[in-house]
Structure 1
Amino acid sequence: MAQDLINLKEYGVITFHSTSHALKAEKTLKKKQREIMVVPTLREISSSCGLSLKFRPQLLPAIYGDLLADQIPMDGIYSVEMQGRKNQVRKIEPEEI
């Protein structure tokens, strides 16, 4: 499961204001058996926390809903596509979800 996430060429990332928020999000989502992975925040994304959640793009609505329901503050939501050795990053606004 986690090995599959490592090799994704297109994926979603959620950043947080603090490490404690990232870890709380991980705990919440793992309890709901969501396929996520805690990863270092990408260089292309500016964030106050060095940890982010990585997930399959199609899971975004469910993951976003779970985090809202548990009142876990999110810093940003991004779509990432690997092109060669570079990441193309696009910020996703909540109204797009």
Structure 2
Amino acid sequence: MGERIETLLRIPLAILYGIILQIIGVIVAIVTIVQFFYTLILGRRHRGMARFANSYASLAYHARRYLLFATNKKPFFGGPGWEETLPCDFDRTKKEPSDGFY
């Protein structure tokens, strides 16, 4: 696909990504509040909630890279998506006791 067509395609995709990320962002905000109280009460983070927030952060990162012309890989559509996340603390194999997350 040519650069001009790719550039024009980013406009409707920016709107679509904005809507999707906004909806998921509201859910992540609720999860963050629940995670805060969960950690405050039990003294540890919930693995599933941390991974969910990490997936959102990774997806938002990939979408912004596309919209800022840093890459031509479209998030969701053949490019990085929800399952292609950046590393999370829980995914590390080596535990570091000094960071307080384990």
- TM-score by length of structure 2 reads 0.24
Structure ID, larger Rg? 2
Q: Which has the higher contact order (CA 8 A, sep 6+)?
A: 1
Q: Which has the higher strand share?
A: 1
The structure with more helix, counted as a fraction of residues = 2
